[in-house]
Structures are given as C-alpha cells and as structure tokens.
C-alpha cells in the first residue's frame, strides 16, 4: 500500500488504553493546528471500537479548541445507548486536560426500507478532469510552504476539481476524489476516511462569491461544527464526486453543504458545516483570533 495512505490508516486506527478510552497522534499537513478532518475521523473510529454488528449512519460534532500537533489526543467514549436497532455514542477528544471536540455518533443494524435520493450533478467525469496541482496552481501558491509540500508529496487522496467559470462567483464546487491506493474491504475504515476527507475545502465554498484578500492574511477561517450522514456503503478507493454548495453566509459565519456520489450516480453520504469566516483589517489581521486559542 502507498506509504502515506498506510500512515493515515494507522493514524485513524487509534491505541486502546481502556475499554472506552483511546489515544491518537497527529500529522502536520502544514496548517497552524491539527486538521479538523483528522479529529473527526479519529473520534468516529473511537466510537466504532465500542460498537459490534452495527454501522455508523450519522455523526454530529462541535470543534471547541484548536488541536496541538505536538501532543497526543485522548478520546473518551460514553456508551450512551444500545437499543434494539440503534446504538448511540458520545465522544470527547481531550488535549492538555481540556476538550477540543465533542462528537455524537449513531449506529444502526443493517435493514431495508423505502429509497429515493437527490440527482447527481451533470459534470465531467474524473477521466476528463486534471489533478488539483495542475488546475489550481495559483491558489496553491497562496498556501504556506509546508501545506504546499503536503499537497504535492504527501497526499493520501487524489483530488481532481471540476473546472467552472471563475467569474461566475457561484457558491458551489465539484471535486472528484479517491484514495491513492486500494483499501481493505472494511466499511468502518472507508467511513473513517470519508469523515477525514469531508473536511477538505468545504468551508471555503462559502467564500466563493466574495473577493476576500486571503493572500494578505486578512481572513480568519475555522470550522465550528460538522455533520455527516452515511446513506449507502462507502468505497473511498473508487472515485467519488464531492458536490458542495453554500446556501448562506452571515454574522461572520459561512454555511456549506456537501454530497458524495459514486460514479454510478448513487448518493453515498451528505455533510454540512458551519464555520467562522471573519474579515479583519489593519493591525487586527496580524493577531491570532482569541476564539481559536481558547
């Protein structure tokens, strides 16, 4: 298996300390704090370790503090309920004695029922799209050097954006993605990796209608919460279309939604996230945001 993907799988698997307590490490992807998708994937993994015979169908999380990449993260699981068909788990991610994320996840015994779904957008397939390093080189140049190196050399996912007219200003984006190598056919693993990937680029869609001065360090963005629903079995080592849009931005917050479709047009999962999108000017743009520190 590709070494970067293998490392990510190890990262999400966690070390079991007690029946309901787990420990995870972090990887530096070039950001100022632990990548939110990593904490989501690890928290879901911790919950999965306490459930047998049931499949995760939803999670809801709040990001409380930025994660420290130099310290381990401890995950405490509360086995809130095991009913006839559903199990619920509450997970708290802790660093330095304080929670950095709260997550609730629900699991269901597999069963059949009525079905309908949203229609997949009509966009070019992955074979007709180019890698993100080719199509968004100007945006990548605005990233910190460590993050650019990660995108170029240390990616666990192939990412191929669907090109759209940059002048449209529409708050929507479509991206094809899959892991860089095939995976074991373990549903929990594929769900963990989808949770990880669901935090890629989602909040940034809420900024597309606005000419924000990212290159000048005058925009503060941070995820506040995240929800994810699994509708059908995930195969994240096959191409998935991540179709994102933003129905609203107001109050220094942006709301973004996403849908994952496979190449057959099946809706695999849906996600939503609200985040801080704060435009600051002058000396304020040079100060770190206190909400993200505490």
- pLDDT tens-digit readout, 116-143: 999 999 999 999 999 988 866 655 565 5
Tell me what the mean pLDDT of segment 137-166 comes to.
69
Of all residues in the chain, the percent with pLDDT exceeding 70 is 86
For residue 141, how many other CB atoms are within 10 A of its CB? 9
Mean of the per-residue pLDDT values for the chain?
89
In angstroms, the CA 190 to CA 205 distance is 24
Tell me what the mean pLDDT of segment 240-252 comes to.
96
Q: Which candidate in 48, 87, 243, 273 is catalytic?
A: 273
Higher pLDDT, 79 or 143: 79
Q: Which candidate in 199, 204, 206, 245 is catalytic?
A: 199
Q: Is 293 known to be catalytic?
A: no
The pLDDT, as a whole number, for residue 146 is: 54
Q: Report, at the CATH architecture level, how domain 3-109+124-293 is classified.
A: Beta Barrel (2.40)
pLDDT band at residue 30 under the 50/70/90 scheme: confident
pLDDT band at residue 285 under the 50/70/90 scheme: very low
Q: Is 273 known to be catalytic?
A: yes
Helices (H) and strands (E) in the chain, counts: 7, 12
For 167-193, write each residue's pLDDT tens digit.
Answer: 566 899 999 999 999 999 999 999 999
Q: Number of C-alpha atoms within 13 angstroms, CB side, residue 115?
A: 9
**pLDDT at residue 281 greater than cutoff 80:** no
The pLDDT, as a whole number, for residue 213 is: 67
Q: Which candidate in 26, 48, 106, 223 is catalytic?
A: 223
Tell me what the mean pLDDT of segment 29-43 comes to.
91
For 199-245, write each residue's pLDDT tens digit.
Answer: 998 999 999 998 776 655 688 899 999 999 999 999 999 999 999 99
Identify whether the C-beta of residue 279 lies closer than 8 Å to the C-beta of residue 211: no
Q: Is 199 known to be catalytic?
A: yes
Identify whether the C-beta of residue 156 lies closer than 8 Å to the C-beta of residue 1: no
- Token output for 47: 């919950």
Out of 11-20, 145-154, 228-237, pick the least confident. 145-154
């Amino acid at each position: 298996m590709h070494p970067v993907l293998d490392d990510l799988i190890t990262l999400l698997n966690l070390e079991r300390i007690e029946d309901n307590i787990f420990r995870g490490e972090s990887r530096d992807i070039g950001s100022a704090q632990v990548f939110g998708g990593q904490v989501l994937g690890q928290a879901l993994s911790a919950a999965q370790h306490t459930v047998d015979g049931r499949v995760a169908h939803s999670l809801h999380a709040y990001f409380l503090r930025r994660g420290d990449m130099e310290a381990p993260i401890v995950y405490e699981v509360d086995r809130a309920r095991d009913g006839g068909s559903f199990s619920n788990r509450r997970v708290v991610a802790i660093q330095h004695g304080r929670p950095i994320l709260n997550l609730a996840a629900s699991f269901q015994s597999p069963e059949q029922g009525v079905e309908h779904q949203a229609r997949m957008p009509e966009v070019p397939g992955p074979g007709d799209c180019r890698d993100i390093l080719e199509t968004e080189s100007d945006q990548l140049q605005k990233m910190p050097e460590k993050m650019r190196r990660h995108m170029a050399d240390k990616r666990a996912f192939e990412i191929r954006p669907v090109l759209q007219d940059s002048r449209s200003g529409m708050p929507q984006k479509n991206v094809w993605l899959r892991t860089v190598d095939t995976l074991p056919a373990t549903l929990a693993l594929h769900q963990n990796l989808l949770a990880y990937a669901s935090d890629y680029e989602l909040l940034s869609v809420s900024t597309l209608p606005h000419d924000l001065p990212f290159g000048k360090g005058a925009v503060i963005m941070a995820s506040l919460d995240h929800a994810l629903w699994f509708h059908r079995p995930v195969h994240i080592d096959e191409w998935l279309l991540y179709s994102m849009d933003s129905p609203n931005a107001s109050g220094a917050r942006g709301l973004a939604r996403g849908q994952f479709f496979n190449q057959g047009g099946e809706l695999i999962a849906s996600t939503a996230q609200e985040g801080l999108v704060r435009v600051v000017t002058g000396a304020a743009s040079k100060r770190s945001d206190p909400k993200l520190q505490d």
